[in-house]
C-alpha cells in the first residue's frame, strides 16, 4: 500500500498552527495603539508567548524530525545541503530579545513618539522574519516531507507525527504571560514521560541505542528504570536479538539489586524439578538454585517483554534446565533463528507446544534424552496454530501441545481430532545448520519430522555423530535436495558405509569426547 501524504505528513498540522500565529501577530500589530502604555504591554505579552511557541516548534522539529532525517541520510552516505543547513540560523532569539528589550524600554520612556518608533521597529523586525519563516515552512513540506516518505516506514512516520503533535499540544496548554516573556525562554519538559533536560537526552535516539548496546545486561536494566524514554530505548528490539545464559550469569551477578532474582516466597512455589520424563532421567542432583532463579526471572519478567525480539538463544551447558523451564523459554521466543540447547539433560517435552517456525540453526548436541518425539512435537506445533477457534464450538480453543492432533495428513493439511479443523502449513523456514551429535535415541523419524517442518535446500552443516539409530537410507532421503551440503561439513557414524557423500563425509566426531555418546561404544555409555 502506497503512503498517503495527508495521513503521514508530519509537518502539515504543526505548520497550520504556526500560520495561525503569524496571522495573529499581524492582527495584534494592526490593532495595537502604540501610544497606549497598557496596549503596548499587552502586545509584548502576546508576542512573547507567540515567539516562545515559534522557538519550541523549531526545537521539536529538530529533535524529532530533522535529527532523525540527518542520521538516516548520513547512514546511507547521502549528503543533502538543505537538510544539513536546516535551522542552522537562530531566527527566534533576536525577536524574543526585542520583546524583552521592549519591557525595559517602556520603563525608561514616557514619550509617545518613542513608543510609536519602537512599534515601527517591532513591525519591521516581524516582517523580515515572516519573509523567511513562511517560505521555510513551504520548503519543509515540499522538500523534507518527500525525503521522509522515501527513507522512513509508515509506522515510523506515524509515530513521529504523533509525537510531534503531542508535544505541540502540550506546550500550547502551558500558560504564557507577561512575566514569562520577560525571562529567558528555555525548552521545558513538554511530555510527562521525558526526563529532565540534559545533554545526553539531546542525542538522537540512534546514538543512544548504540550506547545502550555496549552496556551489560544489568546496566541496561538499571538504565531502563531511569525514565520512560530510556525504558523504551532499552527494550528496543535491536538490544535483545541475542541471549546467552552462560554469558548472562558471568556478567550479571549484581542483578539482584535491580529486582532480577525472585523472592524466596516465589521460589518456593516454583515447580523447578521436572517430572514429565522422570522415568527416563533425573537431573535434580545438578540443580543450581541461582540458575533456577535466573531462568524464572527470564520467564516471568524479561522474556514477556523482549522474547519476540530474540533471534539467537544459547542455553547450552545449563545443568539446572529442565523440560518445564526450557519449554516456557522457547514458547516466549517464537522468532528464534539460532538455537543452541546442547549438553543439557532436557527431554522431549521441552519441545511440546513450541513452534520455532523461523529457525535456521539447531544445536542439540549432547542432549542424550531427546528422542523422535521431540521433533514430532516441533512438527505438530506447526500444524495447528495456538488458540485457533473450533469450528463446532467457537468457545473451544485448539491446544497446540499436540494432545488433540490426529496423525492424519491430507495433502499439506492436518486435522484436529477435537474439531476437525483444517489448517494449512505456514511457509517453511530453511535450516542451514543441524547438530544432533550424541542424541543416540533419535532415528530416521526425527529426520523425517525435521524435513516436514523445514526446507533443507540451504543446509550447509549436519552432524549426526553418535546417532546409532539413523540409517543410510534415512540420511540419503533427508539430504535428497540439500545441494549446498559438502562432505567436509557432514558427520555421521563410522558404522554406516553407504551413507550420503561417503567419499568426502567425516566419520563419528565423538570418538574421544567424554560428554557425548559414541557410535562405537557399547550400550548407552559415553564416548571411548
CATH number for 100: 1.20.120.520
| 519 vs 438: CA distance, rounded Å | 9
Burial of 303 (0-12, 13-18, 19+ CB in 10 A): buried
Question: Of 11-25, 158-172, 275-289, 417-431, where does the model show the most confidence?
Answer: 11-25
Does 129 share its domain with 48?
Answer: yes
Does 74 share its domain with 220?
Answer: no
85 pLDDT band, cuts 50/70/90, is low
pLDDT the model gives residue 324:
94
Does 156 share its domain with 19?
Answer: yes
Does 121 share its domain with 61?
Answer: yes
Residue 411 domain-assigned? Answer: no
What's the whole-number mean pLDDT along residues 424-446? 84
| 44 vs 370: CA distance, rounded Å | 80
479 pLDDT band, cuts 50/70/90, is very high
Lowest-pLDDT range of 82-86, 128-132, 184-188, 260-264:
184-188
> For 5-56, what is each residue's pLDDT tens digit?
677 888 888 888 889 988 988 888 888 887 787 888 888 888 888 888 888 8
Does 127 share its domain with 234?
Answer: no
pLDDT the model gives residue 456:
94
Evaluated on CA atoms 25, 30, 32, 33, the torsion sign reads: positive
Does 104 share its domain with 218?
Answer: no
Q: Is the pLDDT of residue 267 over 80?
A: no
First-to-last C-alpha distance (Å) of the chain: 62
pLDDT the model gives residue 427:
55
- Tell me the residue range of the domain where 92 lies: 12-185
pLDDT the model gives residue 173:
63
441 pLDDT band, cuts 50/70/90, is very high
Count the neighbouring beta carbons within 10 Å of the beta carbon of residue 196.
8
Does 137 share its domain with 97?
Answer: yes
What's the whole-number mean pLDDT along residues 355-377? 94
348 pLDDT band, cuts 50/70/90, is very high
Q: Using the 3D structure, point to which of 218, 239, 260 is the last residue of a domain.
A: 239
Q: How many residues does the chain have?
A: 528
The grid coordinates listed for 149 are 516518505
366 pLDDT band, cuts 50/70/90, is very high
| 443 vs 400: CA distance, rounded Å | 24
Count the neighbouring beta carbons within 10 Å of the beta carbon of residue 360.
17
Burial of 355 (0-12, 13-18, 19+ CB in 10 A): buried
> For 97-115, what is each residue's pLDDT tens digit?
888 888 777 767 667 777 7
Give the predicted TM-score (pTM) of the model.
Answer: 0.54
pLDDT the model gives residue 268:
41
Rounded to an integer, what is the distance from CA 247 to the centroid of its chain?
21
Q: Who has greater pLDDT, 330 or 196?
A: 330
The grid coordinates listed for 50 are 507567540
431 pLDDT band, cuts 50/70/90, is very high
pLDDT the model gives residue 321:
93
- Cβ-Cβ contacts under 8 Å for 318 (sequence gap 6 or more): 245, 246, 291, 295, 344
Q: Is the pLDDT of residue 405 over 70?
A: no
Residue 280 domain-assigned? Answer: no
User: 161 and 8 in contact (C-beta within 8 Å)?
Assistant: yes
Tell me how many domains the chain contains: 2
> For 139-177, what is each residue's pLDDT tens digit?
888 888 888 888 888 888 888 888 888 888 877 665 544
Helix %, strand %, coil % of the chain (to 5): 50, 10, 45
Residue 175 domain-assigned? Answer: yes
Does 167 share its domain with 213?
Answer: no
Does 96 share its domain with 229?
Answer: no
Mean per-residue pLDDT of the chain? 77
Using alpha carbons, list the distances in angstroms from residue 194 to 53, 71, 112, 185, 227: 19, 21, 47, 19, 7
Amino acid at each position: 500500500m502506497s503512503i498517503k501524504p495527508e495521513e503521514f505528513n508530519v509537518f502539515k498540522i504543526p505548520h497550520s498552527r504556526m500560520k495561525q500565529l503569524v496571522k495573529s501577530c499581524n492582527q495584534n500589530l494592526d490593532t495595537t495603539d502604540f501610544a497606549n502604555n497598557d496596549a503596548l504591554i499587552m502586545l509584548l505579552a502576546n508576542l512573547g508567548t507567540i515567539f516562545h511557541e515559534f522557538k519550541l516548534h523549531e526545537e521539536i522539529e529538530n529533535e524529532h524530525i530533522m535529527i532523525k532525517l540527518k542520521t538516516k541520510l548520513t547512514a546511507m552516505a547521502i549528503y543533502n545541503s538543505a537538510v544539513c543547513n536546516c535551522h542552522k540560523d537562530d531566527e527566534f532569539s533576536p525577536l524574543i530579545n526585542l520583546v524583552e528589550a521592549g519591557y525595559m524600554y517602556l520603563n525608561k520612556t514616557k514619550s509617545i513618539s518613542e513608543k510609536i518608533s519602537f512599534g515601527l521597529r517591532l513591525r519591521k523586525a516581524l516582517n523580515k522574519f515572516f519573509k523567511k519563516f513562511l517560505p521555510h515552512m513551504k520548503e519543509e513540506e515540499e522538500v523534507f516531507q518527500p525525503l521522509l516518505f522515501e527513507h522512513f516506514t509508515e509506522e515510523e512516520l506515524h509515530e513521529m507525527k504523533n509525537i510531534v503533535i503531542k508535544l505541540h499540544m502540550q506546550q500550547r496548554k502551558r500558560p504564557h504571560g507577561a512575566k514569562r516573556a520577560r525571562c529567558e525562554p528555555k525548552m521545558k519538559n513538554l511530555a510527562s514521560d521525558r526526563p529532565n533536560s540534559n545533554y545526553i537526552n539531546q542525542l538522537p535516539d540512534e546514538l543512544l541505542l548504540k550506547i545502550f548496546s555496549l552496556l551489560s545486561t544489568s546496566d541496561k536494566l538499571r538504565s531502563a528504570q531511569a525514565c520512560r524514554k530510556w525504558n523504551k530505548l532499552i527494550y528496543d528490539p535491536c538490544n535483545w536479538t541475542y541471549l546467552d545464559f552462560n554469558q548472562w550469569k558471568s556478567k550479571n551477578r549484581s542483578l539482584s539489586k535491580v529486582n532480577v532474582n525472585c523472592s524466596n516466597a516465589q521460589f518456593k512455589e516454583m515447580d523447578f524439578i521436572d517430572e514429565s520424563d522422570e522415568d527416563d532421567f533425573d537431573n535434580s542432583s545438578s540443580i543450581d538454585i541461582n540458575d533456577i532463579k535466573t531462568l524464572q526471572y527470564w520467564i516471568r519478567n524479561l522474556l514477556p517483554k523482549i522474547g519476540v525480539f530474540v533471534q539467537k538463544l544459547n542455553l547450552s551447558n545449563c545443568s539446572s534446565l529442565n523440560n518445564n523451564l526450557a519449554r516456557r523459554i522457547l514458547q516466549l521466543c517464537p522468532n528464534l533463528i539460532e538455537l543452541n540447547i546442547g549438553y543439557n539433560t532436557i527431554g522431549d517435552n521441552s519441545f511440546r507446544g513450541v513452534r520455532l517456525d523461523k529457525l535456521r540453526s539447531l544445536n542439540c548436541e549432547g542432549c542424550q534424552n531427546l528422542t523422535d518425539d521431540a521433533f514430532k512435537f516441533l512438527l505438530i506445533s506447526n500444524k495447528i496454530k495456538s488458540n485457533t477457534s473450533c469450528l463446532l464450538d467457537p468457545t473451544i480453543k485448539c491446544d497446540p501441545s499436540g494432545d488433540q492432533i490426529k496423525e492424519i495428513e491430507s495433502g499439506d493439511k492436518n486435522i484436529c481430532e477435537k474439531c476437525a479443523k483444517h489448517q494449512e502449513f505456514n511457509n517453511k523456514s530453511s535450516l542451514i545448520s543441524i547438530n544432533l551429535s550424541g542424541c543416540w535415541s533419535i532415528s530416521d523419524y526425527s529426520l523425517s519430522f525435521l524435513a516436514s517442518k523445514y526446507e533443507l535446500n540451504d543446509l550447509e552443516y549436519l552432524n549426526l555423530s553418535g546417532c546409532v539409530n539413523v540409517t543410510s537410507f534415512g540420511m540419503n532421503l533427508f539430504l535428497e535436495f540439500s545441494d549446498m551440503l559438502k562432505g567436509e561439513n557432514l558427520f555421521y557414524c563410522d558404522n554406516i558405509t553407504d551413507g550420503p557423500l561417503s567419499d568426502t563425509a567425516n566419520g563419528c566426531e565423538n570418538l574421544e569426547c567424554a560428554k557425548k555418546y559414541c557410535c562405537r561404544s557399547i550400550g548407552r555409555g559415553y564416548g571411548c
